[in-house]
């Protein structure tokens, strides 16, 4: 993940600029009427926009994320083959007794 460090550097540089102190209000100068401290309200507004924009660009920067990869999995087979096996089958003898005999059950194909 890459971050953009230019806005952070601009924010630090804005904080590092020295600002001269505001002059005290002198009542005898007609140019200072209405500006009771000699401050610049517009400078603070513009500075806030600059610093807010720098912080917003730093914190709200989108990150490059790779798109998700989709793996193709084929569907399960519809038919499968059961293996053959030996089983015990009952056999009725002529005298009426039941016995069991081993028989081979062949492989079978089952479809669902």
Written as six digits, the tokens of 30 are 């007609």
Is residue 97's pLDDT more than 80? yes
Residue holding tokens 């000699």?
38
Q: Which domain holds residue 99?
A: 81-111
What pLDDT score was predicted for residue 44?
A: 79
How many angstroms separate the CA atoms of 101 and 90, rounded? 6
Residue with the larger pLDDT of the pair 84 and 56? 84
74 pLDDT band, cuts 50/70/90, is confident
How many angstroms separate the CA atoms of 27 and 40, rounded? 18
Mean per-residue pLDDT, 85-91: 95
Is residue 72 a part of any domain in this protein?
Answer: no
What pLDDT score was predicted for residue 1?
A: 45
What pLDDT score was predicted for residue 59?
A: 77
The total number of structural domains in the chain stands at 2
Is residue 96 a part of any domain in this protein?
Answer: yes
- For residues 14 and 54, is the Cβ–Cβ distance under 8 A? yes
- For residues 20 and 43, is the Cβ–Cβ distance under 8 A? no
- pLDDT, one tens digit per residue, over 2-50 is 556 666 666 676 666 766 665 555 555 555 555 555 567 777 788 888 8
How many angstroms separate the CA atoms of 20 and 41, rounded? 15
Sequence-separated (6 or more) residues with CB below 8 Å from residue 105? 84, 85, 86, 87
CA distance readout (Å), 109 to 35, 65, 78: 97, 48, 11
Is residue 1 a part of any domain in this protein?
Answer: no
Do 85 and 50 lie in one domain? The reply is no
Is residue 104's pLDDT more than 80? yes
Is residue 34 a part of any domain in this protein?
Answer: yes
What is the percentage of the chain residues whose pLDDT exceeds 70?
A: 65
DSSP β-ladder status, 98-105 and 108-111 = unpaired
Do 20 and 51 lie in one domain? The reply is yes
53 pLDDT band, cuts 50/70/90, is confident
User: What is the rounded average pLDDT for all residues in the chain?
Assistant: 77
């Amino acid at each position: 993940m890459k971050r953009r460090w230019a806005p952070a550097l601009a924010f630090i540089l804005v904080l590092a600029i020295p600002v001269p102190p505001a002059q005290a209000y002198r009542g005898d100068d007609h140019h200072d009427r209405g500006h009771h401290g000699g401050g610049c309200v517009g400078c603070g507004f513009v500075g806030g926009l600059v610093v807010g924009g720098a912080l917003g660009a730093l914190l709200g920067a989108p990150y490059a994320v790779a798109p998700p990869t989709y793996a193709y999995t084929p569907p399960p087979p519809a038919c499968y083959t059961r293996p053959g096996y030996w089983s015990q089958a009952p056999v009725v003898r002529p005298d009426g007794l039941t016995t069991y005999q081993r028989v081979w059950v062949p492989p079978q194909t089952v479809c669902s």
